[in-house]
Chains A and B, each alone.
Chain A
């Protein structure tokens, strides 16, 4: 969720009203944003503070003071949604050359004429670009914004992609010219820009925008040229957005324009730019047309659970920056402004109506849905077994599902290749490389952290392991296991063995003395496992299937887990007993 910082004094000036922090917090709550923090502004000598506000991730139109105060004013019925217009003079042209299609095929742009910034609004202009870059633009991978002082450059502009060695210019705030490949090397050490370098670095051509004098405007999505650098005194702003996603490029451009056109000499008038595509067709940007939807009042009422008439609904929606007209008692005509790119469906409109109505004013009803509850049988059986094992004197542990390769392999004298584990491709730490294939490491680690506890330590866990299984849709499956360990000065195998006998009694599987056939349970010691003391372990066979293992751990395993005493364990699959 994006978090923006706004000076309280500027916000209240825009809203034409002062609020206590508590009142403003309530306003935020009702509107669906969150006053997350209040930070002092030291320079203001305690006069002013900065509000840190959490903005929902789909509301790009309220990521700056201009947009937020506009939306709140409309919500409070103190203002109206502005009409955005396009000027009709000869348009600046931007031509896309074919090479760009290999790397970053899209560019859109527009101009803000005769704008007057002050320090605060200019700062807001810079900060909004940052916020958009971080969120909607997905760290500039999808869209990158370049803003330029139009008076320093000469249209028409060329959007090209060239070999790095053919591009040479002085980038923003740098003293000397660099070749594009050197430049990327240079910025790969820059704490702020290094994360963008990889977007184009491996490409044989880099995107670049020139003016008709061959001046470089920008090397998207990395850096602008110093030549067209903007300042608080810039009067005419050229905005270009290069992108791999046209829809998002348009949203970004529209947001930049609609937020800051209020500072133009003709407020909210925007000068379009025509873009000549590779195939020669010409597209004019931006498209600021409202999207018009007719919606049924009855449907809104039905979804939200309220009873409002068309007029009230229209007022409510208008407060949410959706210009609404009543067509007939059940039909509203809604003009969705370009700023509200978050409105995708009727349900978004219905929600806005509910927000303006106030979630906390909605009459609560309990659904009449009648159902009979049921447990998931595997969970029911697990719970019954958990209780039984605890009754037998064992303490329940709750350990992590994710673990390292070593936890299931090397520490037991095995190789990871021999284990059917699912592997994580992007672990942040070595502790989470795979899904566990056994519950045992978690229990042994728990003992290692509790060695001061009175002996014997008797632990258990009933939980899922994850096994690679290519017969399944995702190539893996969970398996519900019971694992129990006994840790003492002697291995206490008889205790663990007794626990197995107890569990089998409880699940009504009797002992099979013949050690064959598909009935009952028995132990089969004709098996090898490096995790165990030689000759002191066996497979647990129940109803003809191998359901797990029982035995005394190998001293190497004890040592690998940082333990000091002998330990016997049982681990079985309990799914056959469901």
Chain B
């Protein structure tokens, strides 16, 4: 293969005619009207036209309409090498050498050997029996042995050039290949046949309708070039929204449709009191470990708290209160003061509920939020140190676990999930606590889609709520359902600087489609 050469265009260097594109177009169409098919390679060689020009013309005919069909083919063939082409023009070395010898008296050998390529020419002419050497005189004299010779090599090269001879196994061709006068080539060519709208008389037509044509009315009589509806259009310049935030919009919309009010979650820094203590999370809980939570060194602490409330929280943790035996440990204010990057948006829910409890008249609420939370995690394909938490809650008189299950069915139906099941779970601030599983038809298994529960009395009663008010709540991450929705395995392909902007551009409209309401 190493002496093969990709060759589509220059195989035909002996182009003599340079027809204009339009005359060639006419020629090709009339050829096709009398022939079943046209082979571009053969046609180019027969008519001594550059192959690329033929192909270009074919393409332009094709762009006009459904006039011709083309089919690409590849062929291995042989062609004169660069040296071969020189011989094609000038004759073979041996032939030229022979012609250089005066027919009658011959020539002194050293003189003869001064001719170009005389060594090869001499050897070949000798083996062909064209010459004799008279060694009796000094220097030796070379004489013609025969009267006349034919330049077989040039002849062969001509036949190869004209594609008359394409069989690389013919003995003479093998000989020429050895002499590197002929080489293997790959030819890409087309077989052209007539198509439904074939005609020899095709006007090129106007490319575009112009303002001038409209003014003069000339469009009425002009022919217009057909559009190529197989090519793609030109993409309009456009921006786009981020794929994850498009999903956020859908979820946000779902909550709004369900009558939920959005909580102000624009406070990423929270203190441990509101992030943990108020949520009845004991001070030695693993979530409060430096391994799991980002603590701030500056500003390290919060010093102002609602002191009455703080006292109640202290009591419910350390000695128990409100019907709870508590955790029975020494609750430390210092621990509650520590600022953290909030580990959940439930810290905001807690602030909102506390505010609600301070109202003179209790009014039931439905709250939601979707915003960032932070964990001091080891990062991997599915975990980042920050992610979006989706949270919903309802506070009303006498809500039950059945109400929570009911509203979860409504919420997840909006996300297109109707097969749910609930597993008992543990969470410091909810009791009962339920993990939510949904059957994923694509993955053919149950997947965990969120967490939920009823806020503990130890969380609600210190705020000042009366005992008959309960709060049901649930949460999930935005990233996980989005990764499943888009089929993304690595979260860093979705969030952060490594996102592929092209992926963002190609990302379709996001529709989270609700399931039909079961009758």
Contact = CB atoms under 8 A, between A and B. Distances in A.
Interface string B267-282: 1111100000000000
A424 B341 contact: yes
B209 interface: no
Nearest to B421: A360
Nearest to A466: B268
B78 interface: no
Contacts of B374: 401-402
A425 interface: yes
A509 to B, nearest CB: 22
Contact of B339 (A135, A246, A474): A474
Given A347-B456, A395-B240, A464-B268, A306 B402 contact: yes
B123 interface: no
B424 A424 contact: no
A507 interface: no
Contacts of A492: none
A280 interface: no
Interface residues of A, number: 101
Contacts of B257: 373
A474 B267 contact: yes
B300 A365 contact: no
A395 B295 contact: no
Nearest to B339: A474
B290 interface: yes
B378 interface: yes
Interface stretch (A64-72, A162-170, A175-183, A382-390): A382-390
A344 B321 CA distance: 10
Contact of B262 (A29, A342, A375): A375
B432 to A, nearest CB: 4
Interface string B423-462: 1111000011110000000000000000000101110000
Contacts of B401: 303-305, 354, 359, 362
Contacts of B341: 402, 424, 435
Nearest to B455: A347
B421 to A, nearest CB: 5
Given A305-B402, A475-B302, A29 B423 contact: yes
B24 interface: no
Nearest to A387: B241
A186 B192 CA distance: 87
A478 interface: yes
A123 interface: no
Interface stretch (B48-56, B159-167, B177-185, B497-505): B497-505
Interface in A395-422: 395-402, 422
Interface stretch (A11-19, A55-63, A253-261): A55-63
B325 A366 contact: no
B514 interface: no
Given A383-B249, A424-B341, A390 B403 contact: no
B35 interface: no
Q: Which of B294, B364, B472 has the most CB of A within 10 A?
A: B294
Interface in B265-308: 265-271, 284, 286, 290, 294-302, 304
Contact of A401 (B267, B372, B454, B494): B372
A446 B398 CA distance: 50
Contacts of A57: 286, 426
B135 interface: no
B326 interface: yes
A121 B507 CA distance: 57
B324 A344 contact: yes
A521 B326 CA distance: 57
Interface in B179-228: none
Given A390-B241, A422-B298, A371 B326 contact: no
Given A373-B258, A398-B242, A449 B326 contact: no
Contacts of A29: 421, 423
A355 B426 CA distance: 12
Q: What range describes how many residues of B lie at the interface?
A: 35 or more
A155 interface: no
B470 interface: yes
Contacts of A432: 294, 385
A413 to B, nearest CB: 21
Given A474-B302, A476-B269, A367 B470 contact: no
Nearest to A424: B294
Interface in B248-265: 249, 252, 255-265
Contacts of B501: 395, 446, 450, 453, 457, 459
A576 interface: no
A390 B269 contact: no
A466 B296 CA distance: 12
Nearest to B402: A305
Contacts of B494: 398
A305 B400 contact: yes
Contacts of A527: none
B17 to A, nearest CB: 43
Contact of B423 (A32, A354, A364, A375): A32
A365 B401 CA distance: 9
A297 interface: no
Given A247-B327, A376-B264, A457-B501, A369 B432 contact: no
A31 B458 contact: no
Given A56-B426, A375-B256, A401-B386, A395 B400 contact: no
Interface stretch (B36-44, B58-66, B112-120, B406-414): B406-414
A56 B339 CA distance: 28
Given A458-B239, A478-B268, A402 B385 contact: yes
B483 interface: no
Contacts of A423: 296-298
B336 interface: no
Contacts of B8: none
B302 A446 contact: no
A154 interface: no
Given A367-B403, A378-B266, A359 B396 contact: no
Contacts of A480: 266
A426 B294 CA distance: 6
Interface string A436-448: 0000001001101
A392 B456 contact: no
Contacts of A390: 239-241
A108 to B, nearest CB: 14
A305 B326 contact: no
B266 A32 contact: no
B376 A391 contact: no
Interface string A21-52: 00000000111101000000000000000000
A371 B261 contact: yes
Contacts of B400: 302-305, 365
A348 interface: yes
A383 B431 CA distance: 36
B456 A345 contact: yes
Contacts of A119: none
Contact of A389 (B239, B267, B378): B239
A291 B328 CA distance: 15
Contacts of A397: 242, 497, 499
A245 interface: yes
A501 interface: no
Interface in A133-148: 135, 138, 142
B423 A392 contact: no
B302 to A, nearest CB: 5
24 contacts: A34-B423, A304-B401, A305-B400, A350-B432, A351-B431, A360-B422, A368-B396, A371-B260, A373-B256, A375-B256, A375-B262, A378-B264, A379-B252, A383-B249, A393-B238, A394-B239, A396-B241, A399-B496, A401-B386, A424-B297, A428-B385, A466-B269, A474-B270, A478-B266
Given A302-B398, A302-B400, A402-B385, 10 more contacts: A245-B329, A291-B325, A344-B458, A350-B431, A359-B423, A376-B264, A390-B241, A395-B504, A429-B379, A449-B497
List the 4 shortest-distance A-B pairs measured between CB atoms, nearest first. A305-B402, A32-B424, A475-B299, A305-B400
